[in-house]
């Protein structure tokens, strides 16, 4: 199997597993005062400090969660002030379900929601989003990088327009962290979500960065762990694994980025060269600076995406039609709909996403397997 679906999840790095192993085997609750507890606490604090350093935050701003979905939910429900009555939210129409569904839930509970359109390359307009602000706006949310097209969004610009007006901004950075440099303080947002399994860390752990001074109401009640924002016994091995995976990415970022760009472009250019630009069309920004280095979404006009995906799977190539969290749905991708992608490729677009272990040989073999499928359809 040639695995080209790393935006769905990435395999665990063996170095990360080795860093986690001692903490799985050792006892010790990080809240306990005995030696085992103190050792667990040290590991926890070291993980938090490492994450904060790499992501441009303060350790006290780091909240570990079970993943990106929990982090996004905690931010959106916590910032919205849902307990004090309906307000107004500004979002984008290209958000991952982990954001889109909580926003829809708040809307069902009485919140007004504006979702200003994105351009045809899938990039939001921060100024257009800001034009939707009212005196009742409780928060704005915009993902940092789109999970389907890799389009990088103007989050910093949006924060610069919203924060001075007292409107908190949340960004879902799940697809960005571990792929491009992310600096919490420089972005200027109120909260930021990430998930370890997107950058070769363990499944089951993510984080939410919460800017100092930001009030965040938690839906969970229990112990006072993590300043009460995410109560419960902390998962030390998973936090260690997340931090280790992030450290590995930072140490190898330049090398990985250069390799990803070369391999991503080789895959796209080979398919276009063989079939022609009319049969292979990129969905997403033309400007490489506006997209993730390891993601490409290609439309194949007139083909059936579900059938194409099945044939790729039988040929030993793992890819995706879009978000793995909604891949069971028969409806077309909300992101591509929002981009106003024509009907002839709306249901025929495939996302290929690379990981740290993707090699040039993998891409050449993938091309060899993909072309006959496309040529036969």
What secondary structure letter does DSSP report for 356? T
What is the residue whose two structure tokens read 């079939």? Answer: 275
What secondary structure letter does DSSP report for 11? P
pLDDT of residue 347: 87
Calculate the alpha carbon distances from 1 to 22, 105, 261 in Å.
Answer: 31, 39, 21
pLDDT of residue 329: 52
298 forms beta bridges with 282, 350
pLDDT of residue 190: 98
Q: Which residues of the chain have pLDDT under 50?
A: 324, 327
d(CA 43, CA 56) in angstroms, rounded, equals: 20
Q: Give the residue among 63, 70, 112 at the shortest CA–CA distance from 234.
A: 63
Q: Which two tokens stand for residue 285?
A: 């920004």
Q: What is the pTM of this model?
A: 0.94
Residue 120 contacts by C-beta under 8 Å, 6 or more apart in sequence? Answer: 339, 340
Q: Which domains does the chain have, with CATH numbers?
A: 2-8+253-376 (3.90.1150.10), 14-247 (3.40.640.10)
d(CA 105, CA 254) in angstroms, rounded, equals: 40
Contact 148, 8 (CB under 8 A): no
d(CA 107, CA 324) in angstroms, rounded, equals: 24
DSSP 3-state percent helix, strand, coil across the chain (nearest 5): 45, 15, 40
First vs last C-alpha separation in the chain: 22
Contact 76, 106 (CB under 8 A): yes
Contact 228, 217 (CB under 8 A): no
pLDDT of residue 81: 83
- Do the strands 206-210 and 62-65 form a parallel or antiparallel pair, or are they unpaired? antiparallel
Calculate the alpha carbon distances from 171 to 3, 143, 212 in Å.
Answer: 28, 5, 16
Annotated catalytic residues are 325
């Amino acid at each position: 199997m040639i695995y080209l679906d790393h935006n769905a999840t990435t395999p665990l790095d063996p170095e990360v597993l080795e860093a986690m192993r001692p903490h799985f085997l050792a006892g010790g609750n990080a809240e306990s005062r005995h030696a085992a507890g103190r050792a667990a606490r040290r590991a926890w604090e070291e993980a938090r400090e490492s994450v904060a350093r790499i992501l441009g935050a303060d350790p006290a701003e780091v909240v570990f969660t079970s993943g990106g979905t929990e982090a996004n939910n905690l931010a959106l429900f916590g910032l919205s002030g849902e307990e004090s009555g309906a307000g107004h939210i500004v979002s984008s129409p290209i958000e991952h379900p982990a954001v889109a569904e909580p926003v829809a839930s708040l809307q069902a509970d009485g919140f007004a929601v504006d979702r200003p359109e994105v351009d045809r390359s899938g990039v939001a307009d921060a100024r257009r989003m800001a034009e939707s602000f009212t005196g009742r706006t409780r928060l704005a949310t915009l993902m940092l990088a789109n999970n389907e097209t890799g389009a990088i969004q103007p989050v910093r610009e949006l924060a610069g327009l919203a924060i001075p007006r007292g409107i908190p901004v949340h960004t879902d950075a799940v697809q960005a962290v571990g792929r491009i440099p992310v600096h919490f303080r420089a972005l200027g947002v109120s909260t930021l979500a990430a998930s370890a399994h997107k950058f070769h860390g363990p499944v089951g752990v993510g984080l939410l960065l919460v800017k100092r001074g930001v009030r965040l109401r938690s839906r969970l009640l229990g112990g006072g762990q993590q300043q009460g924002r995410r109560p419960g016994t902390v998962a030390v091995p998973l936090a260690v694994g997340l931090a280790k995976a992030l450290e590995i990415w930072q140490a190898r970022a330049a090398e990985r980025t250069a390799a990803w760009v070369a391999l991503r472009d080789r895959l796209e250019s080979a398919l276009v060269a063989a079939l022609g630009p009319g049969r292979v069309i990129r969905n997403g920004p033309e400007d490489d600076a506006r997209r993730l280095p390891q993601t490409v979404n290609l439309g194949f006009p007139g083909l059936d995406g579900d059938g194409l995906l099945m044939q790729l799977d039988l040929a030993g190539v793992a890819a995706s039609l879009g978000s793995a969290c909604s891949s069971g749905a028969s409806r077309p991708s909300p992101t591509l709909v929002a981009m106003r992608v024509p009907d002839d490729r709306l249901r025929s677009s495939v996302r290929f996403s690379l990981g740290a272990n993707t090699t040039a040989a993998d891409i050449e073999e993938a091309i060899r397997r993909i072309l006959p499928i496309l040529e036969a359809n």
